Amino acid sequence: MPSLNELVRRHTTLTGADVEWLHLLVSEWQLLSDLSFADLVLWIPTWDGIRYVSVAQMRPNTGPTSYQDDMVGHLVPRGRRPLLDAAFDEGRIVREGDPEWREEVPVRVESIPVRREGRVLGVIARNTNLLTVRTPSRLELTYLQSASDLAQMIAAGTFPYAGEQVDMDAAPRVGDGLIRLDAEGIVTYASPNALSAYHRLGLTTDLVGGHLGRTTAELSLPSRGAVHEALVKLASGWAPRQTEVEAQGGVVTLRAIPLKPKGVHTGSLVLARDVTELRRRERELMTKDATIREIHHRVKNNLQTVAALLRLQSRRMDSEAARAALDEAVRRVGSIAIVHETLSQNLDERVAFDEIADRVLSMVMELSHEGQVTTRRSGSFGILSADVATPLAMVLTELLQNALEHAFGPKAAGSLEVSALRGRAPATGMGWSDSWNGGAKPDEYLLITVQDNGRGMPEGFDPQKAGNLGLQIVRTLATGELGGTFDMVAAPDGGTKVVLEIPVR
């Protein structure tokens, strides 16, 4: 289905400001559709003035639809629908004419001109399915009167309100609860849902006959001065605003819509939605997230304390082998602490691993080598879950430490590069990085290489059976916990290349 922008650009000569007004109208017209119990179709004249093109459509949530098919993109010539012509040419709401019959369903058709800055941009066709018409209740009469006021404001170019900032996804709907106010802010009608929402705030009487602004302010949590007065004014419907009121453990979202059908303030609509349970769940999630972050923060602190104790113990050791073993333990503990520190700053259990890799690389270089080895990281690890990031940080620490310890002498110079590549197809050993299609969807497998230009592996060395602790940790974590593969081969230009392939679905 073509978008409003595409249809307007293709068929009309409307300006950018006109299109923005239409977008604002379309974002708000669910309100008019629900109050009218009617379908809405927005028709705009084409650039040559001989046809109309339908650029948007809305079906009501409060009644049956009049259109079984989508109307967006349809073109009709002038003269075929006289009500459209009359509304556009005369700039007035047109209700004349007998009901139309569509698939044995009677439909009442009305046309509402859409005006902006004195110009009629198009026409809204309001189509009401009359098959289920019955004697209207007080609720339905209030809906229809409010819809009539909004239609007159659209025809006059005073609705929607251009300066109103409303989150339409979170805004109350007509069915959530509707309150009709007179020009003084006195409640003339409150739907059952709106009354229930106010009962949730602690109201023990009826709303009708009372001043909604003062009633709302008295129910809300204690407030003073400007805040109190602002709430009274908003709930009185004098300005198009949205707010939340909390009292007695209940939370209600209010949206006020002033009604000025003939340019004079005659009353207001206030939509009310009980969001108590929604806010309770949000607070529970926030509390849970804060607790998880605090746990990660404390784990990080404890690990740093352990690392500090190990460093103290290392300085007291007379044996070089014992001191080296403790220093390796410090690095392993430090790599885990880095992951927990990153997780303590996030809202979920996912981390951008590039930052962790850079910090691990810096830590290992700082603690391990006094020579002139240069390091570089290329590619991106992307976002990883905590259950992948923690063992991967350990693996990376061991591989970097192993390269610095065995590839270069104490004062030797060289280079060490860590690269990461994410791809969708399963890896096929060493050839995967060369054959991977960069245009495929990412985030299925992660290929990591750690390559040095050092002295290389000794003759007969088998990385799958080597007995030192570092490689045992790498094999266990890479193949066991991470479910990937690990290999170590001679680099093409000398040195050693370690290849890790890890699924990260």
Q: Over the stretch 488-497, which tens digit does the pLDDT of each residue have? A: 888 887 888 9
Tokens coding 172: 């109350």
pLDDT at position 433 over 80: no
Q: 214-251 burial string, b = 16+ CB within 10 Å, else e?
A: ebbbebbeeeeeeeeebbbbbbbbbebbbeebebeebb
Tokens coding 215: 């009633």
Instruction: Report the sign of the C-alpha dihedral through residues 484, 489, 491, 497, in that order.
Output: positive
Contacts for 364 with CB less than 8 Å, ≥ 6 apart: 331, 397, 400, 401, 404
CA distances from 34 to 173, 217, 373, 488 (A): 9, 29, 70, 67
Q: pTM surpassing 0.75?
A: no
Tokens coding 282: 């949000």
Amino acid letter, residue 206: D
Share above pLDDT 70 across residues of the chain, in percent, rounded to a whole number = 90
Parallel, antiparallel, or unpaired: how do β-strands 413-423 and 372-379 relate? parallel
Q: What is d(CA 179, CA 212) in angstroms, rounded to the nearest whole number?
A: 9
Q: What is d(CA 488, CA 403) in angstroms, rounded to the nearest whole number?
A: 11
CA distances from 327 to 259, 390, 410 (A): 74, 20, 16
DSSP type of residue 472: H
pLDDT at position 14 over 60: yes
Q: Which pLDDT score, from 0 to 100, does residue 158 have?
A: 93
Strands across the sheet with 105-116, in order? Answer: 75-77, 51-58, 39-45, 119-129, 105-116, 100-102
CA distances from 183 to 139, 180, 198, 384 (A): 19, 10, 21, 57
Q: What is d(CA 270, CA 453) in angstroms, rounded to the nearest whole number?
A: 72
347 or 126, higher pLDDT:
126
Q: Which pLDDT score, from 0 to 100, does residue 371 have?
A: 60
Parallel, antiparallel, or unpaired: how do β-strands 372-379 and 51-58 relate? unpaired
| 172-231 per-position pLDDT tens digit | 999 999 999 999 999 999 999 999 999 999 999 999 999 999 999 888 866 555 556 777
Contacts for 46 with CB less than 8 Å, ≥ 6 apart: 11, 12, 52, 53, 75
Q: At 427, is the pLDDT very low, low, confident or very high (cuts 50, 70, 90)?
A: very low
Nearest to 501 by CA among 399, 433, 416: 433
Mean pLDDT of the chain, nearest integer: 85
DSSP H helices, 128-236, are 138-156, 192-200, 212-219, 225-235
| DSSP line for 204-234 | -S-STTSBHHHHHHHHSSP--HHHHHHHHHH
Nearest to 273 by CA among 212, 376, 201: 201
Nearest to 112 by CA among 67, 61, 153: 153
DSSP type of residue 261: T
Tokens coding 350: 């996912």
Q: Which of 94-98, 318-322, 423-427, 463-467: highest mean pLDDT?
A: 318-322
Side-chain half-sphere exposure of 412, counting CA atoms within 13 A: 15
CB 457 within 8 A of CB 490: yes
User: Average pLDDT of 284-290?
Assistant: 75
